[in-house]
Structure 1
C-alpha cells in the first residue's frame, strides 16, 4: 500500500504564517492576498499523491478532464473542471489560487480527481436508467454539453451534495430534481451555458479516480474507485489499529452535539445546512449511552480529549434528568417525550445510560442519586408489564392512560436489556424476574422473527446471568436466516453490526455450555462471521470523511459523523450512536481476536473432506428446505444448471416458475432423473415432488446456486488461481490446469462458464479435496466473481478492445478486470502481464488491496521474462532460472501463456522443470488453436480453429501464430469473420486487422460478416472472397480448396466459423 503523504516543511511554514495572519488581522486575510508562492507548494504536494501514468490516452470524450475541489472546511467546496493532457504544478497552482479567492478563510481540504471513463446517452435514456437506482445510490458524475465549453461536468459528490437526484423520502428511487439540478448548474457553470434538457440531448455519465489532501493534518489519501466506496478514502480491511481513529472521531463528533443547556443538536440535513428542528428524548438517552461507550473506548486507547468528553457526558445526562425525567407516585419515574408521551423504550435506554455511567465512573459522587433514578425508571417499566409478560408501549404522561399497547417491537428489547443491565449492577432479583417473564412472552409471540438488534442485546445479557437453553435458542433464531441480509444490504444499516456483535458475545457464552450447542444445528456460524466482518467494513461507506463532507453546505457540522445515504445523507445523533456502538464492540473483537469454538463446529458435522454438498450442507448453504428428504448418506456430485453440466448423482437446478429461459426445464429434469440425478432444487416443489428423487425448495434458484458456489469455496482447503484477460483466458486456464496436473490434483472451469452463475456452478461441482482450482473469471460481474472465487492468485493476461459496447474503452476494461482483486486477502499475489499498456493502473489497484504484484512478459521491467521466441521455441527467465521451452501449440501468445503458468508455479514453489515438461505436451483447446485433419471436396486439409471468439489482440496473435507454421504460404487459406461488440470504433478495429492481413504473403482470403468485407479494397493484390455468413464462406472454400491446404479460421463466436467443419 502506498503510504499517506504529508506536507513538507516549506508548505507547513507558509500555511502557519497565513493562519497566523488570519487570526491576528482586524480584517480577515483572503488567501488570494497572501504570498502567491503558497499555492505552488500546495500544488506540488497534491501532485505528489498522484499515481504514475494517471491519465492514459484513450478515446472517450472526457479524456484528460480534471476536477479540483477546495474548501476552508466551514463552507461548501468550490469545484472547477478543466482539460489538460499533461497536468503540471504551475497550472494546478493557478487553479488553486483562483478557487481560493472564493473563500474568506484559508484553504484546508483539497480534492483532485481525473475522469477514468465516460458513457454517452440521451437525456431521456439517462432519466429512465436513473430510476433503476435506489435514491442517492447513483454513483457516477454527469456531464452536459456546454456552449462556451465542450462539456459541463458535475461530479457524483457535487450532484449528491445538492440533492440533484433526490425528491424526498416518499420517492424510493433516484429521479432528477429539476429545481436543484438547474440551480446548481447555473451556480457551477453559469446561466448562459444552461442545457435545454430536450429528450434527445446528449449527456455523459462518468467515473473518476482521485486524491485528497488535508492541509491541517498533513494527511493525503487516495480515493476509492470501488463502486459502493466511490469517492471516500481507500482503506484496508478494518483492524484494531486503523479502526481506532474512526471510533475516536465518532465519539468526538457526538460529544460536540451536546449543547450547554443539556440538549443535543438533534441532527443535520447537510445538503442545505439545515438542522433538524424536532427532538426525541429516547434518542437523547440512547445517544448518551453510546457517548459513554465512546468515552470508555477513548480512555482505554489513550486517545481523545477525555476531560471534554466527560464534561459533555455530564451535561447530556443532567439535561436528560432535569428536562425530561418526571417522578410519579410509588417510586416510579418516566422519561417524557416532547409530545407528552411516555415510551417504554425511553425509560429503558435512560437506565442503560445511567448504569453505564456508574460502570465507567464508579467513584462518582452521583452514584447513589443515579442508581435511585435508574431504579425509579425500572419501577415505571414494571408498571407497564401485563400479566402475560408483554409490555404496554405508550402511555399518556398526564394520567398514565394507555395510548398504544404496541408501537415498535424494539421497545421490548430495550426494556429487557435496560433491566438486565440494572440487575447486573444491583443484583436485585426483581429485575431479573421481570425480564424472564417478558422473555417467555417474546418467545411465545415469535419476536425472534423481527431480527432486532435490541433483542440481540437483551438475549445476550440474559444468558450471561440466566443461561437457559431456550434463551440461547431465541438468540440464534433472532439471527438465523438473516446473515445474507447482514452481509449484502445495500444501505449501511449500522444496527446490523450491533445485532451481530451482541450475537457474537452470546456465542462466546455458549462455549461454556456444550450441552446447548445443538441450538446451532442448521446455522452456519462461519458464514455469520463473514457477514459480520463484511458489515463492519461496509459501515465505512457511511462515515462523513472530510473528502465527502467538504461538498455539503456546512462541512464542519457533519465531518466525521455517520450518515444515512437514502435519507439525503442525514446525520442524526441516533445515527451516530449506532455507528459508534457497533464499531466499539467490533474493535474489541479485532483486538482480542477471540472467536467461539462454534465458528468451526458446523463445518465439521455437515461436510466431508471431498464433498461439501451433503444434504445438511446444501440446506444450510441455500437456506432451503428438503420437501422430499434425501437418503441418509446423500452426497451430490455437483449441480447441473444446464444439460452439459449433468453427471450422475448431481443436484438438478430446475428452471424457476417465473422464468422463461435458463436452468433446466421440466422435460430435461425428467430425462436426467432417469439417467441418475440425485435430486432437484426448485422454487416450485409441487411440480417435482412425485418424480422419485429428493426435492429441495428454495425461494430463488439463481441465488441458491450462487450460495452453493460460496459454500463450496468456503469448504475448499486448496489454492484458487483466478484467471482473467481480454484474450486467451480459456487457453491459459487449460494450460495451467494441464501443467499442474503433472504433480497435483486440479479442478478447472468447464464450458468457459466465467460469469458468476457459471463460476458458482463450476465450484459447486468440483471436489473439495483437490490441491488447486483454476478458474476463468469474466469481466462481467467481476466483483461478484472475486467474492465467489476468493483467488489466492489472480492472473491478468492482457487487456484489449473487447465487448466495447458494454465497456466503452480499454482503460475501463482494465479497471473492471482489476476488480478481480476486490475480495482477495492482503498478501495474496497479483500476477500481471508487464506488456499491458495499462499495467501501472492495474498494479495500483492490486497494491491498494495489499497484494504482492509480480509481472511477466517481454518487457525488460518484467519480473519473469520471455527472452525470445522463434517458431515454437521460447527462451524464458523465471525466478533467475533460464528455461528453453518447445511447445506443440505455435505462436508467441502461447509462449506468453506458458510464461504466466511458470510464474505461478514459481510463486507456488513447484518444480519448474517438471512444469515446463508438462507444458511442452499441451495441446490447444477446441476453437482456440486446435488443429484437425479433415476432408473437403475429397481433398485432405488441416483446419486451424481459432474461431471460438475474437478481438483485435487475439486476432493479431492468432494470425502471427499461423504464419509461424512451416508450411508453404501457397498452401494457406485465411478465413476471417467479424469481431463483435467492439463499440463505436468497430470499423477502425476491423480495418487494422485487414491492414495486417495485407502485409502477409497469403494469397487466398475469405472475409465473412458485415464488417470484414468493408475493407476488401485493402487486399487488391490477393484472391479475396466475401461472404455474408458461414454457409457462403463454406461454399467459397469448396471452390478454392486444394489438396493439403492449411485453413485458418478466426472470428467471434456469433459468426459461427468454429462449427464450419463439424
Structure 2
C-alpha cells in the first residue's frame, strides 16, 4: 500500500481539529466535488458564489475520506463520522499546507509574473519531472485558496515542487510565498496587468517583488533582465534572504542569455549562452515569449542543481495547454483551418504575443490570419488607450480579419481600417455564428480575451461544428 498523503494524527497535529472516528487517512485533497477522487480530503471552503458545505453530502457519497467543515456548520452533518471540525475551513487548509511544507525535503520553485507564469510553471513541471518526482500547481491554482490547496496535496516523497503565485492587488503574494518558502523564486515579467488596482506599473513591480520575501535563506532570485522594471525587482531580491540573483533575457549582461530566437510554425529554436557557455535547444511550442521564458526555466534548474542541458532537451516535448495556445486542426469542406486557443485570459502583453504567433503561421493557398478578440479587463482608465494600441500589432503581424467582442474592443475597431473589421459585438456569444461562417480552408484563427469575456465559447463552437483532425497538437501551423 502506498504512503497516505495525510494520517489522522497528522491532521490533528496540524489543525487541532476534532476528527471523526470514521477518518483514518487521506490520499488526496479537493475543494470541488466534480473532480473529487475517492480517498480525497474534502475542504468545504466558502467561495464567492457557493458554500462548500452545501456539497458535503455529495463529497462523502463520492468517497471522500472526510470533509473538513466549520464548527458553525458541523451540526448539519451530525450523523456522519467522517468530519474534521475546525473553526475556519480555509485557515485549516492553510495549516495543513504549512505542515506539508515543513515535512517536505523537496527543492521548491515559486513563479510569478504579469505574463507567462502558468506556461513557465508547466515547462518547469515537464523538465524537472524527468529528473525526479515533481509536484506542481494544477491549472492556474495561484491564489489565496489555490496555493494552500496545492501545498495540501504535496506528496512527502516529492523531489521538486513548483508553485505558481498570482495576485490582483498589492500584499497578496507575500502571505502565499511565506507559506511556500521557495528555494528559487522567479518573476517572468512585469507588465500593465491589473493596472486598475495600482497607481502605476511601479506598484505592480513592487507587488511581484513580494515573492522574494518568502525565499529560503541563501536561495536564488531569478529576474527578467530585459524588463524595464529590472532594477526595481532586483532591489526587492537584494532586500530578501536570497543569496544569489540570476538574470535571464536577451540583454548582454544576462546570466542566461538568448543570442538568437527562431520562431517556426510548430516550434521555437533558441541559441543561448548559459554563463557564457553555448547551448542550442528546441521548444515544442512556438512563440518568442515562450522562448524567453524558457530561459528562466534553465535558470531555475541551474539553481536547483538539476542538469541544465537535459532540461533544455526536455523542452522539445513541451505542448501548450487548453486555452493557452493549444492548436487544433479544424476539418472544413475541401481542407483544414488552424485554430489557436488562447481564450483563457488576456492582457496587452499576452494579446500582442498571441498576434505575433498568429503572424508567424505559414498559410496555405488563400488562407487568412483571423483574430477573434475580447475585452482585456482590469486596465482601469488606461483601458481604452491600451485596446487602441493593439492596432499596431494587428498591422505588424499581417492579421487579415478581426472579430471583436466587448465595449473596450470598440477602441481597437475604430482604429483599424474598415476592411480588417469583420464584426464587433457586445458579447462573445454574439460572435459565434459569424466566426464559424467566416472560416475557410487554409485560414489560421486565434481566439483571445479576458476570462470574463468567455471567448472559449467561440473555441467550443468551432470545434463542435468542424471537429478536430488528428493533428491536434500543433504539428502544423
TM-score (norm 1): 0.41
Q: Is the 8 A contact 2:447 2:459 kept in 1?
A: no
Q: Is the 8 A contact 2:358 2:397 kept in 1?
A: no
Residue aligning to 2:277: 881
Q: Is the 8 A contact 2:113 2:187 kept in 1?
A: yes
Counterpart CA distance in 1 for 2:7 and 2:334 is 54
The one-character-per-residue Cα deviations of 1:828-884 (angstroms, maximum 9, x if unpaired) are: 100011011111111111111131111000111111101111222111111332121
The CA deviation at 1:1029 is 1.2
Report deviation, 1:822.
1.4
2 CA distance for matches of 1:643 and 1:903?
38
Q: 1:897 aligns with which of 280, 289, 293?
A: 293
Matched residue, 1:843: 234
Larger RCO, structures 1/2 (Cα 8 Å, 6+ apart): 2
| CA pair 936-980 structure 1, distance change in 2 beyond 3 A | farther
| 1:609 positional shift | 11
Give the unaligned 5+ runs of structure 2: 461-477
Partners of 1:620 and 1:638 in 2: CA distance: 18
Higher strand share: 2
Q: Cα deviations across residues 126-148 of structure 1 (Å, max 9, x unaligned)?
A: xxxxxxxxxxxxxxxxxxxxxxx
Summarize the Cα distance change of 1:660–1:865 in structure 2 as closer, same or farther, 3 Å threshold. Answer: closer
Alignment of 1:34-53 (within 5 A): none
On the 8 A contact 1:655/1:664 being kept in 2, the answer is yes
Residue in 1 that maps onto 2:256? 864
Task: Report the Cα distance in structure 2 between the residues aligned to 1:913 and 1:787, rounded to whole angstroms.
Answer: 31
406, 429, 442: which one pairs with 1:1009? 406
User: In 2, Cα distance between the equivalents of 1:993 and 1:643?
Assistant: 41
Q: Distance in 2 between matches of 1:761 and 1:705?
A: 7
CA shift, 1:661, in A, is: 4.0
Listed one character per residue, the Cα deviations across residues 11-64 of structure 1 (whole Å, up to 9, x for unaligned) are xxxxxxxxxxxxxxxxxxxxxxxxxxxxxxxxxxxxxxxxxxxxxxxxxxxxxx
Deviation at 1:764, TM superposition (A): 0.4
**Partner Cα distance (2:114, 2:34) in 1:** 25
Cα distance in 1 for residues equivalent to 2:426 and 2:45 = 36
Return the match for 1:995 from 392, 395, 404: 392
1:86-120 deviation line (CA, Å, top 9, x unaligned) = xxxxxxxxxxxxxxxxxxxxxxxxxxxxxxxxxxx
SS of 2:415's partner is helix
Q: Which residue of 1 aligns with 2:472?
A: none
Alignment match, 1:701? 89
Deviations 1:780-806 (A, max 9, x none): 410111111111100000000111222
> Is 1:792 aligned to 2:179, yes or no?
no
Superposition CA RMSD, Å: 2.1
Distance 1:954 1:795, change over 3 A: same
Aligned partners of 2:26, 2:160: CA distance in 1, in Å? 20
Distance 1:830 1:882, change over 3 A: same
Q: Which residue of 1 aligns with 2:99?
A: 711
Q: Against the structure 1 CA distance between its residues 1019 and 959, is the aligned structure 2 distance closer, same or farther, given a 3 Å change threshold? A: same
* Distance (Å, rounded) in 1 between the aligned partners of 2:44 and 2:216: 35
Aligned to 1:1032, the other structure's residue is in SS state: helix
Distance 1:986 1:660, change over 3 A: closer
Residue 750 of structure 1 deviates from its aligned partner by: 0.8
Aligned-residue offset at 1:1011:
1.0
What does residue range 675-754 of structure 1 map to in structure 2 within 5 Å?
675-683=62-70, 684-691=73-80, 693-754=81-142
Task: Provide the residue aligned with 2:206 in structure 1.
Answer: 815
1:14-29 matched pairs, under 5 angstroms: none
State whether residues 739 and 919 of structure 1, in contact with CA within 8 Å, keep that contact through their aligned partners in structure 2.
Answer: yes
Select the residue among 644, 660, 673 that pairs with 2:60.
673
Residues in 2 aligned to 1:962 and 1:735: alpha-carbon distance in whole angstroms:
21
- Whether the 8 Å CA contact 1:624–1:698 is kept in 2: the answer is yes
CA pair 662-618 structure 1, distance change in 2 beyond 3 A: farther
Compared CA separation, residues 979 and 724, structure 1 to 2 (3 A): same
**Matched residue SS, 2:253:** coil
- Give the corresponding residue for 2:310: 914
| C-alpha distance in 2 between matches for 1:847 and 1:990 | 36
SS at match of 1:948: coil
Give the whole-Å Cα distance in 2 for the aligned partners of 1:901 and 1:625.
43
Match of 1:764 in 2: 152
Any idea what the Cα deviations from partners look like across 1:704-747, whole Å, max 9, x if unmatched?
A: 11111111111111011000000111111111101111121101
Matched, 1:653 2:43: yes
**How many residue pairs align between the two structures?**
448
Q: Kindly state the Cα deviation for residue 674 of structure 1 after the two structures are TM-superposed.
A: 2.1
SS in 1 for 2:92: helix
2:439 counterpart of 1:1050: no
Cα distance in structure 2, aligned partners of 1:938 and 1:623: 66
Q: Report the alpha carbon displacement of residue 1006 of structure 1 after superposing the two structures with TM.
A: 0.9
1:222-247 Cα offsets, whole Å, 9 max, x none, are xxxxxxxxxxxxxxxxxxxxxxxxxx
Secondary structure of the residue aligned to 2:261 is strand
TM-superposition CA deviations, 1:135-173 (whole Å, max 9, x none): xxxxxxxxxxxxxxxxxxxxxxxxxxxxxxxxxxxxxxx
Q: CA deviation at 1:614?
A: 1.3
Deviations 1:640-675 (A, max 9, x none): 22235522211112256xx88445243x32222222
Q: Which has the higher Rg, Structure 1 or Structure 2?
A: 1
Task: Give the deviation of 1:1021 after TM superposition.
Answer: 5.8
Q: CA deviation at 1:936?
A: 6.3
> Please, which moves more after superposition, 980-989 or 636-645?
636-645
Whole-Å separation in 1 of the counterparts to 2:34 and 2:219: 33
- Provide the rounded CA distance (Å) in 2 between the counterparts of 1:772 and 1:624: 29
> C-alpha distance in 2, partners of 1:889/1:974?
19
In the TM superposition, what is the alpha-carbon distance from 1:1060 to its structure 2 partner? Answer: 2.0
Tell me which residue corresponds to 1:479.
none
Give the conservation status (yes or no) of the 8 Å contact 1:652–1:680. Answer: yes
Deviation of the 1:908 alpha carbon: 2.2
Q: Distance in 1 between matches of 2:210 and 2:222?
A: 14
Determine the structure 2 residue equivalent to 1:338.
Answer: none
Match of 1:763, SS state, is: helix
**Structure 1 counterpart SS, 2:158:** coil
What secondary structure does 1:874 align onto? strand
- Secondary structure of the residue aligned to 1:643 is coil
Please identify which structure carries the higher helix content: 1
In structure 1, list runs of 5 or more residues that go unmatched: 1-607
- Once the two structures are TM-superposed, the CA of residue 622 in structure 1 deviates from its matched residue by 1.4
- Residue 82 of structure 1 aligns with which residue? none
The aligned counterpart of 2:218 is 827
Note if contact 1:641-1:654 (Cα within 8 Å) is conserved in structure 2.
yes
Shift of 1:773: 0.9
* 8 Å CA contact 1:821, 1:846 repeated in 2: yes
Asked if 1 retains the 8 angstrom alpha-carbon contact of 2:5 and 2:27, the reply is: no
Match of 2:381 in 1: 984
Cα 1:846/1:655, change in 2 over 3 Å: closer
| 1:934 CA displacement | 3.0
1:1030 Cα deviation from its structure 2 partner: 1.1
Aligned-partner Cα distance in 1 for 2:227–2:50? 36
2:37 is equivalent to residue 639 of structure 1? no
The answer on whether the counterparts of 2:135 and 2:161 sit within 8 Å (CA) in structure 1 is yes
Equivalent in 1003, 1020, 1025 of residue 417 of structure 2: 1020
Distance 1:783 1:909 in 2: 26
Q: TM-score, normalised by structure 2?
A: 0.89
CA contact (8 A) 1:878 1:906 kept: no
Q: Deviations over 1:160-192 (max 9, x none)?
A: xxxxxxxxxxxxxxxxxxxxxxxxxxxxxxxxx
- Structure 2 residue 333 is matched with structure 1 residue 945: no
Partners of 2:457 and 2:154 lie apart in 1 by: 29
Q: Is the 8 A contact 1:947 1:1051 kept in 2?
A: yes
Q: Which residue of 1 aligns with 2:196?
A: 805
**CA deviation string 1:1013-1049 (max 9, x = no partner):** 2232322163312122112221221332112321111
